[in-house]
Amino acid sequence: MLVELARGMWTTLHALFFEKKVTVQYPEEKKPVTARFRGRHILNRYENGLEKCIGCSLCAAACPSDAIFVESSENTDEKRFSPGERYASTYEINMLRCIYCGFCEDACPTEAITMGDNYELSFTDRRDAIYTKEMLIVPVATGGQPTPQVTEPGVYTRSVPEMKNPVD
């Protein structure tokens, strides 16, 4: 019994005086997260500014906690938000229900939704926990020199090319 007590005290004193401290002054210093960390969701865009989300709702179907709501609308040649026929007119994630499993990211065929590295999620109201499309989507490149081929969302000058029948 005395040997176990001495071994426990040695472990405690060794950790106290000889091991490196791991305390981080949190708001000022932030520890980097691992590459596989699943944080706040992000809706991505293509390089030309169009949204990657085509409103297929596969992410909502794959979500085990039913935290995602997607409503799709049709694109027109005058108002184009994504390269496909449809786009997500409404995209909401209830962060209080989300379990950060990453199934939405795996189910997305266009890699529109990804999970970022932001872990600072706090809410003072339940309504603040519902992240809308405007809160999730990556903004169009602004500031400094504009990225080439960036268009404003909803404005696309070309129509989507029609598929040609290989028999013709």
pLDDT tens for the chain, residues 1 to 168: 899 999 999 999 999 899 888 888 988 988 889 989 999 999 999 988 899 999 999 999 999 999 999 999 999 888 899 988 999 999 999 999 999 999 999 999 999 999 999 998 888 999 999 999 999 998 876 433 333 333 444 444 444 445 455 555
| C-alpha–C-alpha distance, residues 109 and 130, integer Å | 24
Exposed, middle or buried by CB within 10 Å (0-12, 13-18, 19+), for 39? middle
Query: Which H helix or E strand runs over 41?
Result: strand 41-43
pLDDT confidence of residue 143:
39
The answer to whether the Cα torsion of 58, 61, 67, 70 is positive or negative is: positive
pLDDT confidence of residue 46:
92
Pick the CATH number of 43-117 from 1.10.540.10, 3.30.70.3270, 3.40.630.10, 3.40.1530.20: 3.30.70.3270
For residue 164, the one-letter residue type is K
| C-alpha–C-alpha distance, residues 73 and 67, integer Å | 20
Which residue in this structure is represented by tokens 């706090």?
122
pLDDT confidence of residue 6:
95
